[in-house]
Structure 1
Amino acid sequence: MSDPRHVVCPHCQAVNRVAAERLAAHPNCGRCHNALFTGEPLTLDSANFERFLSRSDLPLLVDFWADWCGPCQAMAPGFAGAARTLSPDVILGKLDTEAATDIASRFGIRSIPTLILYRGGREIARQAGAMRQPEIEQWVARQLATP
């Protein structure tokens, strides 16, 4: 397997090794046999956030949001569209800051929506405020283009 990537299954959270050239071929989880890439944002919470952050080799874009937040609700369709477009190169997830106050506090979330892009388990970029799908995709591309 050339240049394998570790990918966390969105269904059972098993860590899978997938050859980089097979990422776009719709690979399935070795444990639960479901698709590793659904084209939809993951639902992240206090229980699974760290696993997706630290065990996946793919960049992770997290939307820190809350149900009561109007701009968060307005951005949701664009974020979902970006998940379809950016998959399988980037994993997108949504974290409800009201339900996961520990994670929101850990990353100093002061306003929502806030997008944070992680690579290799480390934050590489942050953007506060609602964006449309093309803006999200362009922002991610710019951030990943810089070393």
Structure 2
Amino acid sequence: MTKTTSHFTTRCYSCNGLNRVPNTRINEEPQCGKCKSSLLDGYPIEGTEDNFDAILASDVPIIVDFWASWCNPCVGFAPVFSDVAAERSKSARFVKVDADLQQNLAAKYQIRSLPTIMVFKDGKMIDTMNGALPKTAFNQWLTKIIG
């Protein structure tokens, strides 16, 4: 049976502090309790087994990067993913899932190669891509899928 909670935890990109965000606020603009930075817009969210389902409940498309620290293409793609996350912060949410630390999520979504990028809309996966892309090609792929 899946554990249902009324909140999820996310790490602040600015101060690295952990914040509990009520599920009812996923479509708002919650701020870090410590530094007051925006928690959900402009930077990738750290995806975990505990917060992933709540993040997918968002009204906006969710772009997920399954990655690992030992994966050179993943490390090279990270700045591209972050740049596009900042540029598209009002139209989509970007999530990074460390496949080594979140093995249950990686298994659930059958991650076989890294990086794997998945796009979710209304909680359902609508497209996937394996491998890193340059920024222009990544933006073109996203535009084709979510506009």
What TM-score does the superposition give when structure 1 sets the normalisation length?
Answer: 0.78
1:33-71 CA distance string (max 9 Å, x none): 753543111111111111101x21110000000010000
Residues 1-147 of structure 1 mapped to structure 2, 5 A cutoff: 11-14=19-22, 15-16=24-25, 28-29=29-30, 35=38, 37-53=40-56, 55-145=57-147
The answer to whether the 8 Å contact 1:63/1:113 transfers is yes
* RMSD of aligned alpha carbons: 2.3
For residues 99 and 9 of structure 1, the distance between their equivalents in structure 2, rounded to whole angstroms, comes to 16
Q: Which portions of structure 1, spanning 4 or more consecutive aligned residues, are displaced by more than 3 angstroms?
A: 8-11, 30-34
1:20-40 CA distance string (max 9 Å, x none): xxxxxxx64399575354311
Gaps of 5+ in 1: 1-7, 19-26
Alignment match, 1:3: none
Match of 2:25, SS? Answer: strand
Match of 1:94, SS? Answer: strand
* Shift in alpha-carbon separation, 1:134–1:12, aligned structure 2, 3 A: farther
Q: Is the helix fraction higher in 1 or 2?
A: 1
The answer to whether the 8 Å contact 2:113/2:130 transfers is yes
The answer to whether the 8 Å contact 2:44/2:94 transfers is yes
1:99-121 CA distance string (max 9 Å, x none): 11111111111000000000000
What TM-score does the superposition give when structure 2 sets the normalisation length?
Answer: 0.78
For residues 82 and 31 of structure 2, the distance between their equivalents in structure 1, rounded to whole angstroms, comes to 26
Residue type at the aligned position of 1:110:
R
For residues 74 and 32 of structure 2, the distance between their equivalents in structure 1, rounded to whole angstroms, comes to 34
* Shift in alpha-carbon separation, 1:48–1:135, aligned structure 2, 3 A: same
Gaps of 5+ in 2: 1-7, 11-18
Task: Work out the percentage of aligned pairs sharing the same amino acid.
Answer: 29
